[in-house]
Structure 1
Amino acid sequence: MRFSILLRTTLAFFALLAATAWAQAPLKIGVTPGPLADSAEVAAREARKQGLEVQIVEFSDWITPNTALAAKDLDANYFQHHAFLDNAVRERGYKFRSIGVGLQGSLGLYSARYKRIEDIPTGARLAIANDPANQTRALGFLRDIGLITLNVRTPRAITPDDIATNPKKLKLVEIPGPQLVRSFEDVDVEVSPPSSFVTAGRKDVAHAALRYSLDDDSYWAIQFVAREDNAADPRLAKYIAIYQASEAVRTQLHASYGSNTHFYRLAWMKQKPQP
C-alpha cells in the first residue's frame, strides 16, 4: 500500500515537472522569409511582453516547415495556404490542421520583356510554380485574365492537362516556387507573388506586374497550421490572437508588401487592408 502511494506520488511529481518544463519551453513557429517572417516576429515581440515566449524559425523552402512540424521540432508553422496544406496531408499523410487564418497574398503576371499582356508573343515561355497547389492557383489566374481556358469549373485541383485552349500556345515552364524570382529574366513571362520580388529587394519589379490577382477566397490565405495532437494548445491560440489584433503586425505587413494594397489582404478581417 505504502509503495503504491509512493509510486503515485512519484509519478505525479514527474508529470508536474514535465508540464512545468513544457510550459516554459518557447513556442516555436516556422515561417518563410519576407512578410510572413517579419510579421510573425513582430507578433512574437508583443507576445513576449505578455509573458508568452515565442521563437520564430525561418526556412528557405516549402518542404522543411512541414517536415519539422511533423517531427515536433515546431509547434506550428505559418507559410502555406489551405490548398498547399490539403495537398501535403494527402501526399504525406500528415496529421495537421489549420488553427487560424492569416494574410492572403496576391499573384502577379510578370515579364522582363513585355509591358502589356497583348505584347506576349505566340509560343512565349511562361513559368509557374511546380507544386500542385500553387500550380492550381496560377492556372486559375491565367484563365481569369484570358490567356487560357480550362476544362474544369472549380479551381481546387487544376493541372496543365486541364487546359482547354491556349490561343498564344504558351509553353509552361514548371519551377519550384521559391526559385521563380531568380528565373524572372530566363523566361518570357511568369506568375509569381509580388511579395517574392519585394523580399528579393526588387520592389520596382513587384510594382510593375502586367496584371494582379487578389480574390477573396480564403482557401488561398496563409494558415497557421499545427498537428492534431497540439492544435488545442492555448499558447497557440493566444499567439494567433495577438497576431490578428496587432496594429504593429498590420503596419509591418504593409511595409513588407511594398506599401501596396494590391499585393495582399488581411484574410481574417474579411476585407482588403487600408494604406
Structure 2
Amino acid sequence: MKTLLLAGLATTLLSFASLAHAGALKVGVTPGAYADSVAAAAEEAKAQGLDVEVVEFSDWTTPNIALAAGDIDLNYFQHKPFLANAVKERGYEFADVGTGTLANIGLYSLKHKSFDEIPQNGTVAIANDPVNQGRGLLLLQKAGLIKLKDGVGFQGTLDDIVENPKNLSFTEVEGPQLVRVTGDVDLALGYPHFIVAAKAFDPAGGLIYSGIDDKQFAIRFVTRKDNADNPDIAKFIQIYQTSPKVRSAIGTAFANDPKLYTIAWEK
C-alpha cells in the first residue's frame, strides 16, 4: 500500500510539473496597443496549446522589476534605448528576443493649432525618463522650438537645451501619464496608443510626429538571459508577428492611422 501511495504521489507531482512547464507564459505589458495586441496573440496561442497570461502594468518601471524577479517570463513595453538604459542603471541580465510595433510619438496641443501659436513662457509636458525625454526633445528641435547641444541625440536632457527662444518651461511626467496633463499645458509629448486607450482626444491631431527613421524605438520582447532560448517564448513571438488578429488589434489601438505606428518587424 505504501509503495502504491508513493507511486501515486510521484505521478501527481509529475503531472503538476508537466502542466507548469507545458505552455505557461506570463507576459508583462502596459495598457493600450501593447496589452491589446499581446492579448490577441494569447488567444491565438491558446488554440495552439500555449497558455499565456497577460499581466498589465501602469508604469515603465515595474515590468522590468517583475521580469528580473521571475514574476513574469517576458515583457513587451520598451524599446532598445530604454532597455539599454535600464540594464546600465540596474544591472539587469536581460535579452532582447524579438521586434514588435514601432509607436510613433507626437507633439500635441489642446490649446493651439500650430507651433507659431505657442506663447512666450509657454508650458511643455515631456517624459521624465532619460531616453524618452531625449526622443521628445529631438521632436521639439525638429519643430523649431528649441535647439540642443550638438551630438546629444536621443540621450539629451533638459540640461542640453542651448536655445529656447520662447522661454518654454518644462514639466517632467512619466510617459503613460502625459495624456492626462495635455490639457493643462500649451504643448505635450504624446504617445498615440495611450491617447487612443484613454479616449482623451484625437490621436491624429498632433502637430508633428516621429517616423520610421526612429526604428530603434520599436518595442521589443524582452526576457531574462537565462530564459532566452525558451521555445515557448519563440513560439509566442512567432504567433504575434504572423497573426492577422494581432495585426488588427494593433491597427485598432492606433486608430487605424498609419502615421501613428509602423509594423517594425517587416521594415
- TM-score after normalising by structure 2: 0.91
2:41 matched residue in structure 1? 43
Partner residue of 2:221 out of 212, 219, 224: 224
Q: Does 1:138 align with 2:129?
A: no
Q: Report the CA distance shift for 1:113/1:156 in structure 2 as closer, same or farther (over 3 A).
A: closer
2:156 matched residue in structure 1? 158
Give the conservation status (yes or no) of the 8 Å contact 2:45–2:51. yes
- For residues 193 and 15 of structure 2, the distance between their equivalents in structure 1, rounded to whole angstroms, comes to 44
Q: Does 1:94 align with 2:105?
A: no
Partner residue of 1:266 out of 257, 263, 266: 263
Residue-by-residue CA offset, 1:155-189 (whole Å, 9 max, x unaligned): 24111111121122211111111211111121111
Gaps in structure 1 of 5+ consecutive residues: 1-12, 271-275
1:252 matched residue in structure 2? 249
1:111 matched residue in structure 2? 109
Quick one: percent identity of the two aligned structures?
48
1:10 matched residue in structure 2? none
Between 173-182 and 38-47, the greater mean CA deviation after superposition: 173-182
Secondary structure at the counterpart of residue 81 of structure 2? helix
- For residues 55 and 159 of structure 2, the distance between their equivalents in structure 1, rounded to whole angstroms, comes to 37
Q: Does 1:186 align with 2:168?
A: no
- TM-score after normalising by structure 1: 0.88
- Output the amino acid matched with 2:88: R
Partner residue of 1:29 out of 10, 27, 30: 27
Deviant stretches of 4+, over 3 Å = 15-19
Secondary structure at the counterpart of residue 57 of structure 1? strand
- Output the amino acid matched with 1:74: I
Secondary structure at the counterpart of residue 98 of structure 2? strand
Measure how far apart 1:216 and its partner are.
3.0
1:53 matched residue in structure 2? 51
- For residues 117 and 214 of structure 2, the distance between their equivalents in structure 1, rounded to whole angstroms, comes to 30
Q: Does 1:127 align with 2:128?
A: no
Q: Report the CA distance shift for 1:257/1:22 in structure 2 as closer, same or farther (over 3 A).
A: same
Give the conservation status (yes or no) of the 8 Å contact 1:75–1:226. yes
Gaps in structure 2 of 5+ consecutive residues: 1-10
- For residues 246 and 68 of structure 2, the distance between their equivalents in structure 1, rounded to whole angstroms, comes to 27
Give the conservation status (yes or no) of the 8 Å contact 1:152–1:158. no
2:8 matched residue in structure 1? none
- For residues 17 and 124 of structure 1, the distance between their equivalents in structure 2, rounded to whole angstroms, comes to 64
CA RMSD for the aligned pairs? 2.0
- For residues 115 and 18 of structure 1, the distance between their equivalents in structure 2, rounded to whole angstroms, comes to 60
Q: Report the CA distance shift for 1:110/1:156 in structure 2 as closer, same or farther (over 3 A).
A: closer
Q: Matched residue pairs, number?
A: 258
